[in-house]
A and B are shown apart, each in its own frame.
Chain A
Amino acid sequence: MGSFSAQQIGWLCTFAVFAPFISGTLVGLFGRSMGPAIASHITCWAVGLASLVALLLFVLIFQEPLFTLKGNWYLWGVIGEMPLSVGYLIDRLSIMMMATVLSVSFLVHIYSIGYMKNDPGYTRFFAYISLFTFAMLMLVVANNFLQLFFGWEGVGVMSYLLIGFWFKKDSANLASLKAFVVNRVGDLALLMGVATVAWFFGSLDYSTVFEQVGLIGNVNANMTIGQFTWPVFTVIAACLWIGAMAKSAQIPLHIWLPDSMEGPTPISALIHAATMVTAGIFMVARLSPLFEQAEGVLNAILIIGTLTAILTGLMGVVQSDIKRIVAYSTLSQLGYMAVGLGASAYAISIFHLMTHAFFKALLFLGAGSVILAMHHEQNIWKMGGLKKYLPITHAVMILGALSLVGIPPFSGFFSKELLIEAAHYCRLPAAGFAYWGLVLSVFITALYSFRLLFVVFYGKTAAKNPEHIMESPPVIYIPLLCLTVPTVLLGIMLVDSVLFERFSAAITPKPNHDVMRVLYGQFEWEGGMIWHSFSSLPFWLAISGIVSAWIAYVKYPGLPAKVVEKMEWIYRILCAKLGFDAIVAYAILPAIRGLSTFLGQVVDRFVIDNIGVNGVAAVVMRCTKMIKKCQTGYLYHYAFTMIAGLLILWVWMN
Chain B
Amino acid sequence: MVFFQELPLLSLLIWLPIVGGIVCLAFARYLSPSCLKQVACLIACLELFLCAVLVQQFHSETWAMQWTEHRVWLPNFHIYYHLGVDGIALPLVVLSAFMTFLVVLATKTSTLTRMPMYLSLFLILQGLLCGVFLSMDAILFYVFWEALLIPMFLIIGIWGGKNRVYATLKFFLYTFLGSILLLVAILYCREMANTAMPGSTDVFSIAQFQTLSLSLLEQKGLFWAFLIAFAVKVPMWPVHTWLPDAHVEAPTGGSVILAAILLKVGGYGFLRFLLPIVPDAVHFYQVPMIILSLIAIVYIGLVAIMQSDLKKLIAYSSVSHMGFVTLGFFVGSVMGIEGAMIQLISHGFISGALFFCVGVLYDRTHTRSIKEYGGVVNKMPLFSGLFVLFALANLGLPGTSGFIGEFLVILATVKTQWLFAGLATLTLVLSASYTLWMTKRVIFGAITTPTVEKLSDINAVEKSILGALAIVIVLLGVWPAPVFQSMKASVQHLHTQAQRSKLFHFR
Question: Which residues of A line the B interface, CB within 8 A?
Answer: 74-82, 146, 149-150, 153-154, 157, 160-161, 164, 167-168, 170, 173-174, 176-177, 180-181, 184-185, 187-188, 191-192, 195-196, 198-199, 223-226, 235, 592-593, 595-597, 599-600, 603-604, 608-609, 612-613, 617
Q: Are B445 and A168 in contact (CB under 8 A)?
A: yes
- 9 interchain residue pairs of minimum CB distance: A80-B335, A150-B398, A596-B306, A600-B303, A167-B444, A596-B305, A199-B414, A195-B414, A77-B481
A298 to B443, CA, bound (A): 43
Q: Are B484 and A78 in contact (CB under 8 A)?
A: yes
Chain B, 485-506, contact with A by CB distance < 8 Å: what is the 0/1 string?
A: 1001000000000000000000
Which chain A positions have C-beta within 8 A of B338?
Answer: 79-80
> Given A154-B399, A180-B436, A191-B428, does the pair A79, B484 have CB atoms closer than 8 Å?
yes
Residue B418 at the chain A interface, CB threshold 8 Å: yes
Which chain B positions have C-beta within 8 A of A593?
Answer: 305-306
Closest A residue to B418 using CB positions:
A225
A224 to B416, CA, bound (A): 11
Q: Are B429 and A181 in contact (CB under 8 A)?
A: yes
Contact for B411 among A154, A198, A592, CB less than 8 A = A198
Residue B25 at the chain A interface, CB threshold 8 Å: no
A164 to B304, CA, bound (A): 23
Which chain B positions have C-beta within 8 A of A225?
Answer: 418-419
Contact for B433 among A164, A170, A181, CB less than 8 A = A181
Interface members, chain B 346-378 (any A CB < 8 Å): 375, 377-378
Q: Are B479 and A74 in contact (CB under 8 A)?
A: yes
Q: Are A184 and B429 in contact (CB under 8 A)?
A: yes
Which chain B positions have C-beta within 8 A of A173?
Answer: 440, 444-445
> Given A75-B481, A80-B333, does the pair A196, B305 have CB atoms closer than 8 Å?
no
A-B contact pairs, 15 of them (CB 8 A): A181-B433, A185-B429, A188-B426, A188-B429, A191-B410, A192-B421, A192-B422, A195-B414, A235-B418, A593-B306, A599-B303, A604-B241, A604-B303, A613-B242, A617-B173
Residue B334 at the chain A interface, CB threshold 8 Å: yes
Q: Are B334 and A80 in contact (CB under 8 A)?
A: yes
Q: A164-B444, A181-B433 are in contact. List 10 more A-B contacts (CB 8 A).
A: A74-B481, A79-B338, A82-B335, A161-B388, A164-B440, A170-B446, A181-B429, A596-B302, A597-B306, A613-B174
Which chain B positions have C-beta within 8 A of A608?
Answer: 238, 241
Which chain B positions have C-beta within 8 A of A161?
Answer: 388
Q: Are A167 and B445 in contact (CB under 8 A)?
A: yes
A75 to B404, CA, bound (A): 14
Q: Are B429 and A77 in contact (CB under 8 A)?
A: no
A173 to B375, CA, bound (A): 11
Least CB distance from B447 to A in Å reads: 9
A74 to B481, CA, bound (A): 10
Q: Which of B238, B334, B418 has the largest number of chain A CB atoms within 10 A?
A: B418
Question: Which residues of B line the A interface, CB within 8 A?
Answer: 170, 173-174, 238, 241-242, 299, 302-307, 333-335, 338-339, 375, 377-378, 388, 392, 397-399, 403-404, 407-408, 410-415, 418-419, 421-422, 425-426, 428-429, 432-433, 436-437, 440, 443-446, 479-481, 483-485, 488
A198 to B335, CA, bound (A): 12
A196 to B170, CA, bound (A): 43
Closest A residue to B409 using CB positions:
A195
A188 to B426, CA, bound (A): 7
Which chain A positions have C-beta within 8 A of B483?
Answer: 77
A196 to B242, CA, bound (A): 37
A573 to B299, CA, bound (A): 36
> Given A157-B392, A187-B428, A192-B422, does the pair A613, B411 have CB atoms closer than 8 Å?
no
Which chain B positions have C-beta within 8 A of A174?
Answer: 440
Which chain A positions have C-beta within 8 A of B432?
Answer: 180-181, 184
Q: Are A196 and B241 in contact (CB under 8 A)?
A: no
Closest A residue to B488 using CB positions:
A78
A351 to B299, CA, bound (A): 45
Q: Are B445 and A592 in contact (CB under 8 A)?
A: no
A199 to B412, CA, bound (A): 8
Q: Are A188 and B418 in contact (CB under 8 A)?
A: no
Q: Are A226 and B484 in contact (CB under 8 A)?
A: no
Closest B residue to A605 using CB positions:
B241
Which chain B positions have C-beta within 8 A of A592?
Answer: 302, 305, 433
Which chain B positions have C-beta within 8 A of A153?
Answer: 397-399, 403
Which chain B positions have C-beta within 8 A of A604?
Answer: 241, 303
Q: Are B429 and A600 in contact (CB under 8 A)?
A: no
Q: Are B238 and A168 in contact (CB under 8 A)?
A: no
> Given A592-B302, A593-B305, A600-B303, does the pair A78, B481 have CB atoms closer than 8 Å?
yes
A498 to B485, CA, bound (A): 45
A566 to B305, CA, bound (A): 45
Which chain B positions have C-beta within 8 A of A187?
Answer: 428
Q: Are A167 and B411 in contact (CB under 8 A)?
A: no
Which chain A positions have C-beta within 8 A of B302?
Answer: 592, 595-596, 599-600
Which chain B positions have C-beta within 8 A of A603?
Answer: 299
Q: Are A196 and B418 in contact (CB under 8 A)?
A: yes
Which chain A positions have C-beta within 8 A of B392?
Answer: 157
Which chain B positions have C-beta within 8 A of A613?
Answer: 170, 174, 241-242
Closest B residue to A189 using CB positions:
B425
A161 to B392, CA, bound (A): 11
Least CB distance from A511 to B in Å reads: 31
Which chain A positions have C-beta within 8 A of B339?
Answer: 79
Which chain B positions have C-beta within 8 A of A157?
Answer: 392, 397
Q: Which of A177, A223, A608, A612 has the largest number of chain B CB atoms within 10 A?
A: A177
Q: Are B480 and A77 in contact (CB under 8 A)?
A: yes
Which chain A positions have C-beta within 8 A of B485?
Answer: 78
Closest B residue to A28 using CB positions:
B385
Which chain B positions have C-beta within 8 A of A185?
Answer: 429
Closest A residue to B482 using CB positions:
A77
> Given A150-B399, A164-B444, A170-B445, does the pair A195, B410 have CB atoms closer than 8 Å?
yes
Closest A residue to B377 using CB positions:
A167
Contact for B428 among A170, A184, A597, A617, CB less than 8 A = A184
Contact for B446 among A78, A80, A81, A168, CB less than 8 A = A168
> Given A599-B299, A600-B303, A609-B241, does the pair A192, B397 have CB atoms closer than 8 Å?
no
Which chain A positions have C-beta within 8 A of B437?
Answer: 177
Q: Which of B333, B429, B480 has the largest number of chain A CB atoms within 10 A?
A: B429
Closest A residue to B174 using CB positions:
A613
Q: Are A77 and B421 in contact (CB under 8 A)?
A: no
Least CB distance from B416 to A in Å reads: 10
Q: Are B307 and A181 in contact (CB under 8 A)?
A: no
A213 to B178, CA, bound (A): 51
A613 to B169, CA, bound (A): 12
A386 to B293, CA, bound (A): 62
A225 to B173, CA, bound (A): 42
Which chain A positions have C-beta within 8 A of B173?
Answer: 617
Q: Are A168 and B375 in contact (CB under 8 A)?
A: yes
A181 to B427, CA, bound (A): 11
Closest A residue to B382 using CB positions:
A32
> Given A173-B445, A613-B241, does the pair A168, B378 have CB atoms closer than 8 Å?
yes
Which chain A positions have C-beta within 8 A of B481?
Answer: 74-78
Which chain A positions have C-beta within 8 A of B304?
Answer: 596
Contact for B414 among A75, A168, A198, A596, CB less than 8 A = A198
Which chain A positions have C-beta within 8 A of B375?
Answer: 168
Which chain A positions have C-beta within 8 A of B415?
Answer: 199
Contact for A76 among B397, B419, B479, CB less than 8 A = B479
Least CB distance from A86 to B in Å reads: 8
Which chain A positions have C-beta within 8 A of B242?
Answer: 613
> Given A184-B429, A187-B428, A608-B241, does the pair A600, B306 have CB atoms closer than 8 Å?
yes
Which chain B positions have C-beta within 8 A of A612?
Answer: 238, 241
Which chain B positions have C-beta within 8 A of A184?
Answer: 428-429, 432
Closest B residue to A185 using CB positions:
B429
Closest B residue to A164 using CB positions:
B444
A617 to B397, CA, bound (A): 41
Which chain A positions have C-beta within 8 A of B388?
Answer: 161
> Given A80-B333, A167-B445, does the pair A154, B398 have CB atoms closer than 8 Å?
yes
Least CB distance from A477 to B in Å reads: 33
